A and B are shown apart, each in its own frame.
Chain A
């Protein structure tokens, strides 16, 4: 059963490599998107933390800033 699934009448190498390439591409794209998101969010946190009291007050008025800081994108 397993051998049949892997071999697929001699087409296994083609089928499995096509599916593997697809899944590997998905993982790579997901990883890159995730790294870029974390990098930008960390940059935002550092900038937000370095604001003086006056500027921080202005920044706090925007709810989107609070949402970025809360890190609601959890994946």
Chain B
């Protein structure tokens, strides 16, 4: 089954896809920005500062999702002995790190008018910072280790240790007294967020997901060409 995902076979798709993803991303982002900045209502407590949520929350969600995917792909790479999984994981990491940084910086900007401080060693903020460190370690490992087998082992180990942090981030607001409020959106039960705010949040999340897909495709194509460059050297 995995033969369908062989780089040689899927390059014809991954090389053409970015332009379509780009068009879709611009379209969804434009709608999302209008919804988030103009059409959505202000909060009765936080006033207009609540609009920061529309970039902060999707960025945090996507950085968590990407790290979980990287771990799953790395483990699958080992289980199924398929190096393409590692290549996909490596191509996902840069956008994951950038979304993590966006979540930290926009959270800090939101913290000033809401809590009166740019930074607090709150459980959720600290665990998000730790996630950024894991992302950095993962990307640095790919750069510094030349031995292929060694880099696969090290990066998988980093993701295994890093994944322990994901449930900590998710449940930090329930386990500890933090400045963050408990989750307003629940997949399993009713969400406490109003639909007029949920809609722009979902549109912005879709836009961010499309952007991470775009960067993933560009990075993945670059990695495939790198492999082909090595192939030409061996001819």
Contacts and interface: CB of A to CB of B under 8 A. Distances in A.
Interface of A: 5, 8-9, 11-12, 14-15, 17-19, 21-22, 25-26, 29-30, 32-34, 36-37, 40-41, 43-44, 47-48, 51, 55, 58-59, 62-65, 67-68, 72-75
A75 B109 contact: no
Contact of A11 (B113, B219, B221): B113
B56 interface: yes
B92 to A, nearest CB: 12
A33 B215 contact: yes
Interface string B26-59: 0000000100111000100001110110011001
Interface residue range, chain B: 35 or more
**Which 5 residue pairs of A and B lie closest in terms of their CB atoms, listed nearest first?**
A8-B48, A33-B218, A11-B48, A72-B15, A18-B106
Contacts of B101: 25
A59 B106 CA distance: 48
A67 B232 CA distance: 15
B215 A29 contact: yes
